[in-house]
Structures are given as C-alpha cells and as structure tokens.
Amino acid sequence: MMALEDTYFSMAEKCAQNVLIIADRGTMDASAFISREAWEKILTKLNLEDIEISDNRYNHIVHMQSAAIGAEKFYTTEDHAARFEGIELARERDNSAMEAWRDHPYVDIIDNRSDFDSKINRLIDLVVKRIGINVGDRFSANSRKVKFVITGMCPDSDFPVKFTDFQVVHHYLHSAQKGFQTRLRKRVKNGRATYTFTVRKPELQGQTVEVKQPISQRDYSNLLAHRDDNHLPVFKTRRSFLYENQQYQLDIYRPPCHSRCQGLVLLETFTTSNDDEVVDSLPPFLKVKKNVTGDPAFSMYNLSIRSDWEDSAEQFCHKLSSDDESEDENVSEVRKAQERLVHVSEENTVFDVRKSYDRNERPVSESDIVGSL
C-alpha cells in the first residue's frame, strides 16, 4: 500500500499543476484488523512510527461511517464481492477503523443521520473546504436540486458566459425488478463519447438510491439490445456553465422526440437556498418561466414515454416508491400532469417562479393578471 501511494506522491510532485490525491484506505487502517502487538512488530520491522504514517503522511482523514451503524436497512452484502461481514462484525470493524485515526490532527466523521446523497455531499464539502476551493452550494450537505423551465434562449454567439455543450442520448432499459428504473447514457464532446449505466432504485425511508457506473462502448452496445420500446430515446444538448460561483446545467431537448418535449429547455442546479433566494440569484440572461422542482410532469422518465400519458397511466412514475394509489387516482394525476405540461408551453401563461411544484396548483393566465390590476 505504501509503495503504491509513494508512486502517486512522486508523480504529483513532478506535476506542474496542483494535485489532490485521495486514498480509499490509509496505512493506519491495517492496525484496526490485527492486535496491537502484531502492529508494533510491523512498525519495528519497517523502522516506522505511528505519527510518521499518520500525521506526516495524510493531511486530512474523513471516516465514512458504515451503514451498519444507523442505516441498517441499507446494509447488505449483496452485489459486494469484497463485503462478507454480518452487521455486528461490520459495526465492530467500523469502530476499530475509526479508532485507528483517533490521534490524527484533522479527522472528520460522517455518520448516517442524513440520507446517502447528503452524506456524499458532506464528504466533498469537507474536502473542498480543507483545500480552499469555492464551489458554491453544489456539494453542501443540505444541498437540493432545483429545476426551472426556460424560454427564449439567446443564440450561442450571444451567450454571455463560457459554456461547454455535450450531445447526450438516453435509452431506458427493461428492468427485471418492479419499481426499478434502468437507463443508458451516451455523452459526446468533440466526437469522443463516454457511456454510463444507471440504476434508480425504489424509494426507501424517503431516500431514492441511484447507482451510476461507467461502462465501455462494447457494454453499451450490448445493453442497447435490452432497451424498453415503451420509451423513446431522449436526445439533448446539455450545456454546463458557471455563474456567480454556481454551476448550472441547461438540458435542451432535441428532435427526434415526443411532441411533449419539443422546444423544452430545463435549467438545473444544486443549492441550499430557499425558493425566493434561488430565483433572485438565477442567471439574469435566462428567461425563467416556471419552477418545476419535484414535478413528475418534467421528469425525463415520464417525458420519454412513447404513448400519450392518459393511455399509459400505469407507466407514469409519480415517485419511486410503492404505489398504493388506485387506477382512477393514477389517471387523474396523469391528467393533471399533462395539463401542467401544456400550460407551460402556452405563450400567455404566467407562473410565480418563486413557487415550486404543488399538486393542487392552478395556472395563472394573462387575463387573470390583467383582471387583477
């Protein structure tokens, strides 16, 4: 382990730019799994001391607490070739690994009081703060994703900030497990493509688990044979840009697509601010029409359904959880979603962009506004 780390340390020292090295395990972890006597023998044989391979070797330690402590329902040995411990042994070993780094001057422990996405965001937030990088709210522990409908895109030549465009295509696949969503993504920039396989699992205790895995072009081609023809491919231009230390993404839907997606442009970002603060800080060069955060009518899964929503109410995904609604309730909710999507596309429909999705909302028309003046 140390020899491998030393190789990366040496490479980093020769690099002209700043380098961050992240180790999945550190040398002190080994001491958690053997007796103190055995550990002392190893240190003596190698002429090392604890402080040398702890304080002097690593600038920052972040301990990610095992799901076996506080998130037991998410702890599993399935699909983990290297994990075999039962829950009690996992707890014991996790505590031992945490104790191994007890004397390091900079240790942060991330427990399971929040959901998994918040746990990962807190990890990244700790690291970027430690090395002094300002990334805005994107990785704050309580960050949430917000989504807006955009109208009136300016020409690319007039876009006032630097941006990068990716050509993206998504394919939804057949899933053998009820409630699971699986999809492929191909993202192209300058003729070079990357491929991602994503599994979105049903909601559990208010958390939606999404697992993303980079795959090869060959695997991508093989998995395409399992595409779900109930869903159309989704073609988008994804534009990434920064504005006022905040990262934004514009998803510009492209043909061929379902008529419901024609001309649709969605803006997404991550933030810790409330709705009013978010709207006030949005890029002023974009015309924001409606806040659709959390609205299933604007989820890519539903937008890609091949048939009309009312003809396939059973396919429409209101949320990734056990669906105990009746068929009549499903059809009613799908009809409302269709109405929301249509109202957004109408030129004279005006919305309060400070207000996020509400199942019982009523669109405000131009005549309503004129009549109230």
Whether 266 contacts 148, CB under 8 Å: yes
Query: Considering just the CA atoms, what is the radius of gyration of the chain in Å?
Result: 25
101, 33, 114: which is closest to 62 by C-alpha?
101
List C-alpha distances in Å: 48 to 41, 53, 81, 99, 106. 10, 7, 33, 19, 21
Q: Which amino acid is at 215?
A: I
Q: What is the pLDDT of residue 322?
A: 37
User: Distance between CA atoms of 297 and 312, rounded to whole angstroms?
Assistant: 14
Nearest to 99 by CA among 65, 147, 136, 60: 65
* Spatial separation of the C-alpha atoms in residues 90 and 85, rounded to whole Å: 6
Query: What pTM did the predictor assign?
Result: 0.66
Question: Beta partners for 64?
Answer: 110
Summary count for the chain: helices (H), strands (E): 9, 13
**Alpha-carbon distance 269 to 137, whole Å?**
9
What phi and psi, each to the nearest 5 degrees, are found at residue 147? Answer: -140, 135
Task: Please give the pLDDT value at position 321.
Answer: 42
- Per-residue model confidence (pLDDT) at position 136: 66
**pLDDT in single tens digits along all 373 residues of the chain:** 888 999 999 999 999 988 999 998 899 999 988 999 999 999 999 998 887 788 778 888 899 988 888 888 888 777 666 677 888 998 998 888 888 887 786 788 888 888 888 888 888 888 887 777 766 666 666 667 899 999 978 889 999 998 889 999 999 999 888 788 999 999 998 888 899 999 888 766 666 677 788 889 999 999 999 999 999 999 999 999 888 867 889 999 999 999 999 999 999 988 877 888 889 989 999 999 999 998 999 999 999 999 999 888 888 887 644 344 444 556 778 888 888 888 887 776 777 787 777 665 554 444 443 333 3
Burial class (CB in 10 A: 0-12, 13-18, 19+), 311: exposed
Distance set, CA 346 to CA 281, 289, 339 (Å):
26, 11, 11
DSSP, collapsed to helix, strand or coil, labels residue 51 as coil
- Do 168 and 238 contact (CB within 8 A), yes or no? yes
Residue 164 CA from chain centroid, whole number: 19
Q: Which pairing describes strands 61-64 and 181-189: parallel, antiparallel, or unpaired?
A: unpaired
For the residues of 110-170, what is the DSSP string, one character each?
E-SSS-HHHHHHHHHHHHHHHHT---TTTT-TT-EEEEEEEE-PPPGGG-SS-EEEEEEEE
Beta carbons of 284 and 150 less than 8 angstroms apart: no
pLDDT of res. 206: 62
Name the DSSP letter for residue 154: P
